[in-house]
């Protein structure tokens, strides 16, 4: 790595994680002494720069529970984005928990916040396309109770902001997202829309509550995961009714149909716990966790690796 200091003020520290295109480091603003995160992407001859795309998307979205970009530019042989520092991902917190799973009430509380995140993103004409526990992180400091959605490198505009014309349904040619959490439409290589973000959220909530997913427990290859997902609802996998109802509603949506976010709230709301209890659990299992990667996943399993 040929980058030590970015923009003359952000000094890089330890490596936090790496994804398919970028590496994330903890860094310090030498002027304010603030701890921040820095994402580095090697400059290539490709016409597509995922980091620049992510920076553009985040600047258009700007909302609660979304990473705040502080600077973007070139440093040496890398494109660089500086972001506010965030906490550990729900995936890492789950790994550190004593039971290896979260209570349904806590999962419901996390799910309610994520519904709000996705509603905000969708209302601004974008879909995320890679919702998974590794991309859901807790805030720090004054934002410690806020759930953040990160990594917008493959986010896509599904509505034209002026004409409001929806992108058409078509074959995409490849699976988009991470196989373990991708929607059925993604497995069928179809264009994605709002419903697919919510379906991926449903699988993420199941994962957090069970500590795994049926297809991961069986070591299924990516080509077999679709069959497991199709069987949900007809085969008993010890999944709470609330999460199954969430999934079945989302799957019932048509490609261009606007989700009823209030209905989804109504499904999870009865199962929620108080925020104080969620905070207590998260704090208990995050004591030994360093602040996590802001937009990079270091998982290595094939079915957990995003396809972009």
Give pLDDT, residue 20. 77
CATH number of 5-84: 3.30.200.20
pLDDT at 151 over 70: yes
Q: Is the pLDDT of residue 278 over 80?
A: no
List the beta strands (DSSP E) in the chain: 5-6, 10-18, 23-29, 35-42, 69-75, 78-84, 126-127, 136-138, 147-149, 156-157
Predicted pLDDT at 284: 59
CA atoms within 13 A on the CB side of 265: 9
Average pLDDT over residues 104-126: 97
Among 147-151, 163-167, 300-304, which stretch is predicted with the lowest mean pLDDT? 300-304
In the chain, domain spans: 5-84, 88-273
Is the separation of the CB atoms in 235 and 75 below 8 Å? no
How confident is the model over 55-76, as pLDDT tens digits? Answer: 999 999 999 999 999 999 999 9
Report the pLDDT value the prediction gives residue 227, as an integer from 0 to 100: 93
Average pLDDT of every residue of the chain? 89
Domains 5-84 and 88-273 alike in fold: no
| Residue 203 confidence (pLDDT) above 60 | yes
pLDDT of residue 38: 97
Report the DSSP beta bridge partners of residue 235.
Answer: 232
pLDDT of 289 over the 80 cut: no
- Catalytic site positions: 130
- The per-residue pLDDT for 102 is 96
- For the cut 50, the answer to whether the pLDDT of residue 298 exceeds it is no
- Cα–Cα distances (Å) from 161 to 60, 141, 149, in that order, read 11, 34, 22
Lowest-confidence pick of 57-61, 268-272, 297-301? 297-301
Asked if 40 and 80 touch (Cβ cutoff 8 Å), the reply is yes
**87 pLDDT exceeds 90?**
yes
Q: How confident is the model at residue 172 (pLDDT cuts 50, 70, 90)?
A: confident
End-to-end CA distance of the chain: 24
Q: Name the most confidently modeled range: 28-37, 38-47, 230-239.
A: 28-37
Determine the Cα–Cα distance for residues 133 and 239; give it in Å rounded to an integer.
17
Lowest mean per-residue pLDDT among 9-13, 115-119, 170-174, 182-186: 170-174
Structure confidence at residue 48 as a pLDDT band (50, 70, 90): confident
Percent of the chain at pLDDT exceeding 90: 75
What integer pLDDT is reported at residue 281 of this predicted model?
Answer: 61
Averaged pLDDT for residues 235-243: 90
**Angle 275-286/104-123 helices, nearest 10 degrees?**
100
Q: In terms of CATH, what superfamily is 88-273?
A: Transferase(Phosphotransferase) domain 1 (1.10.510.10)
Q: Is 92 annotated as a binding residue?
A: no
Model confidence band, residue 308 (pLDDT cutoffs 50, 70, 90): very low
Distance CA 164, CA 167 (A): 9
pLDDT for residue 234 is more than 90: no
């Amino acid at each position: 790595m040929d980058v030590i200091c970015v923009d003359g003020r952000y000094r890089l520290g330890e490596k936090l994680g790496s994804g398919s295109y970028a590496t994330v480091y903890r860094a310090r603003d030498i002027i304010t002494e603030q701890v921040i995160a820095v994402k580095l992407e090697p400059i290539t001859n490709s016409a597509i720069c995922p980091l620049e795309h992510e920076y553009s998307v985040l600047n258009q979205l700007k909302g609660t529970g979304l990473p705040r970009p502080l600077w973007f530019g070139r440093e040496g042989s890398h494109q660089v984005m500086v972001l506010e520092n965030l906490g550990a991902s729900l995936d890492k917190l789950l790994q550190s928990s004593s039971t290896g799973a979260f209570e349904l009430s806590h999962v419901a509380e996390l799910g309610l916040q994520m519904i709000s995140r996705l509603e905000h993103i969708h209302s601004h004409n974008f879909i995320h396309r890679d919702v998974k526990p590794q991309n859901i992180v807790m805030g720090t400091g004054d934002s410690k109770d806020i759930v953040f959605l990160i990594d917008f490198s493959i986010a896509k505009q599904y509505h034209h902001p002026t004409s409001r014309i929806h992108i058409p349904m078509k074959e995409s040619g490849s699976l988009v997202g991470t196989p373990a959490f991708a929607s059925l439409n993604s497995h069928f290589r179809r264009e994605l829309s709002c419903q697919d973000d919510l379906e991926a959220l449903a699988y993420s909530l199941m994962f957090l509550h069970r500590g795994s997913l049926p297809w991961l427990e069986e070591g299924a290859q990516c080509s077999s995961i679709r069959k497991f997902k199709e069987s949900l609802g007809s085969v008993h996998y010890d999944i709470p009714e609330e999460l199954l109802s969430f999934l079945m509603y989302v799957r019932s949506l048509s490609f261009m149909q606007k989700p009823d976010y209030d209905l989804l709230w109504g499904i999870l709301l009865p199962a929620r716990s108080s925020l104080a209890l969620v905070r207590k659990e998260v704090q208990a299992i995050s004591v030994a966790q360093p602040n996590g990667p802001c937009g990079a996943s270091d998982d290595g399993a094939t079915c957990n690796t995003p396809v972009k």
